A and B are shown apart, each in its own frame.
Chain A
Amino acid sequence: MIKLRNLERSYPLGHGKFFYVLRDITLDLAEGEFVSVMGPSGAGKSTLLHILGMHDHGWTGEYFFNETAVHHLKAKERATLRNENIGFVFQQYHLLDDLTVYENLEIPLSYRKIGRSERAAIVGDTLDRFQIVGKKDLYPRQLSGGQQQLVAVARAIIADPKLILADEPTGNLHSSQGEEIMQLFQKLNAEGTTIIQVTHSEKNAGYGNRIVQLRDGWVVEPDRK
């Protein structure tokens, strides 16, 4: 599904010098995998995730997504590819404060030019699937952290992405809530969704089937479990 070849990300320091966040990343990630990217702070985990998610365009090297050469795409084409294939879950949930649960779920669909009635049907199904129908009119601040992350995961999968990118999805949750979210990921993965998560937790990594270790921008342990 994803092929990275000699991918590098750096920031200029001035006087012709650069600070490298990612170095010579060559990696293959297959469809249906549940990959955990691990490593100490500053290792480049989140940067890698944003590059995979096509938010970051300042890298060099090659990136193939389902055989599409992302490195040759223009920003708009990358956005279209991202919208069609990728969903995001963040550590801080990033639900929009002024929108209800229902409206938060509707956002990704509205950006994919899906009609109002179809959107309503999809949101209804998702609310059912995640058993949060009773909370559809609540605002994020009226939910617990676990409930907010549940809504965030629901929002990530609502447009039926092939790939979910999750940046420390349980970082702000207590352990039981974290377990629920990880079980949910496991279930989604079992249903065919590829998942790549950034995590510090060995336990959470245990829910996946592969760990990629990063250190100082280098892949040091691209091993399968």
Chain B
Amino acid sequence: MPASFEFPIPLFGLQGNQFAGRADIWKPVSFTEDELKQRGGRSYGVIGRLRSGVSSKQAQAELNTITANWIPRFKENYAVETGFGARVYGLQDQVVGGMRPALLILLGAVALVLLIACANLTTMLLARGGSREREMAIRVALGAGPMRLLRFLLIESVLLSVIGGVAGIVAAIWGLDVLTAVGAKTVPRLREVNLDATVLFLTFVISVATGILFGIAPAVASAKPELTEALKEGGRGTSSGARRNQLRNSLVVSEIALALVLLIGAGLLMKSFVHLQKVNPGFNPKNVVTAELSLPLLKYPRGKPVIDFYAEVLRRVSALPGVQTAAFTNVLPLSGSNTDNSFHIEGRNEMQTKVFPDEEIRSITPDYFRVLQTPLLRGRFFTEADNADAPGVVIINQAMAKKYWPGEDAVRKRINFGDSDPQKIKWFMVVGVVGDIHHQGLDVDPKPEFYLPHPQRAYRGMILAVRSGQDSRALISTLRKEIQSIDPDQPLANVRTLETVAGESIAPRRMSVALLGVFASIALLLAGVGIYGVISYLVVQRTHEIGVRMALGAQRQDVLRMVVGHALKLVGIGAVIGLVLALLSTRALAALLYSVSAFDLTTFLFVTITLAGVALLASYVPALRATRADPMIALSHNA
């Protein structure tokens, strides 16, 4: 035991399913003498608690020393060139590390939505301030000091944002249930998330802070009215009004820029997700149901009892009505589990070539590839004849054939897995080459894999895969009955369709896409509302001007062009800034993208045009209202 660690883990450390939500029972790992001698398998992860005062760096140093000592003792397993060793990771990184980029991006998206909402709030307050300029002027004329007005206006904006915060909490109570239901399997420890005092306090602080921060500019503008102008002109055409317009325009430009960044991010993730869904996984997941079986060591010691049990299950399941084919594997594609093994290739001296093979290993029964409908490219599949006593056989995938036998036929080549007694070494001949399967993820290129017949590499824990002619879920109860008729104590665990397995493998991406999509839609809506608000206010503010222009000959389309043109000008400036920001920020998304560039031109263009379309629509309604302005009223209005 390395001195940096303490074992066993204290019991309280295991309470509450700290390691995996699915585990109900924990049992100690016990290895046989033979298993302890095997150094080719790498199926176990090790977890340990660092002793108090020991850093992960110190632990890593100690493990480096230990593994360095293995190298001269077990040259064939731990040659320097293979890069094998032990690496210390924090448990938190291990559990949530994979989700960290996605969660950080979502946090960024939330911040952007908050900023856009704040910009909207400021725009509204500015518009309101503009319409109250005369009121403020009268208040000042009657003796109200600027500080008093400022306080009065800030209370209003803080009140607004606090009401918004309360509404947000109500929405969050509802949203959290949805989020927990949707993302429980995707985001680690999501079920532990709740609206506690910290969240409520933070919401209150953010509400008050945004109310003050974004309310201060409109409040300052309104608290200092230009008395003479405001009282004389009734607020029309004063220079403070012009300043307010500039600020309002700048805010709308910012909203558009921020919304564009979010939309482009969401667009890239969506396109990436669509590409991912189109990836051929190397198998057909439709109409296949899977279930895990794990035979207890005492009842089924390794070898014949295990092989016989699984053979009997297959015999009975295959005879069930509706079942086309059935097979077992020890590792299901896209399920998140994996196991690899090192091997030697006949006729090659790995110490000389410095190529130390170690690839993914699977133990399967003969019909496995028929269940998965993975194509046979060369040679043959396994048969019943490939039993424990028969000569060793192995099927490899295309990636492995290309890697180890490039330019030659891999069939009939031989490999072995070593043995402590060189006289007992068993050779396994390649009898077939199959198509590649995306095992670790649709976004991960297929790795070299080799398959052994289950009787020649028997595992007690296997996964049953059954292909049927129709919806395979109908088979589940029958399967349970058949297995219990063989062994009444044998449970069938984690029953799910292969489609579900494949779907769950992209669930984190689906969740990121869905959440970012929601945030981007909110951003788009807010930007649309912002443009609508600004243009509506502009139309009201320019009623007189529009009336004059119509009196001077402007037709409806001239007015439309003028109002929509103003909106499009703002959108244009916002889009340019947004595109630059997006170019700078989408780099951060690169890790989450599949088969899509972070600078994908189509997405950038499509999103920009969509945003421009929404802006056009948002400005068209007030523009249309402007064209209905009655010059008679406009010219007599406050003239």
Contact = CB atoms under 8 A, between A and B. Distances in A.
Contacts, number: 51
A201 to B, nearest CB: 19
Interface stretch (B210-218, B349-357, B552-560): B552-560
A83 B553 contact: yes
A94 B555 contact: no
Interface string A95-127: 011100000000110011000000000000000
Contact of A79 (B237, B555, B636): B555
Contact of B552 (A92, A97, A107): A107
Contact of A55 (B549, B551, B554): B551
B267 interface: no
Interface string B440-475: 000000000000000000000000000000000000
Contacts of A46: 636
A76 interface: yes
B635 A96 contact: no
A217 interface: no
Contacts of B235: none
B237 A97 contact: yes
Interface in A169-186: none
Interface in B547-586: 548-556, 558
Interface in B136-165: none
A94 B551 contact: yes
A111 B237 contact: no
Q: Name the interface size band of chain B.
A: 20 to 34
A3 B517 CA distance: 64
Contacts of A79: 553, 555
Interface in A125-183: 155, 159
Contacts of A55: 550-551, 630-632, 635
Contacts of A112: 553
Contacts of B630: 55
Contacts of A90: 551, 635, 639
B549 A50 contact: no
Contacts of A56: 632
B545 interface: yes
A63 interface: no
B552 to A, nearest CB: 5
Given A79-B553, A96-B548, 13 more contacts: A50-B632, A55-B632, A55-B635, A82-B553, A90-B639, A92-B639, A94-B544, A94-B639, A107-B552, A107-B554, A108-B552, A111-B558, A155-B552
Interface of A: 46, 50, 53, 55-56, 76, 79, 82-83, 88, 90-92, 94, 96-98, 107-108, 111-112, 155, 159
Interface of B: 237, 242, 544-545, 548-556, 558, 630-632, 635-636, 639
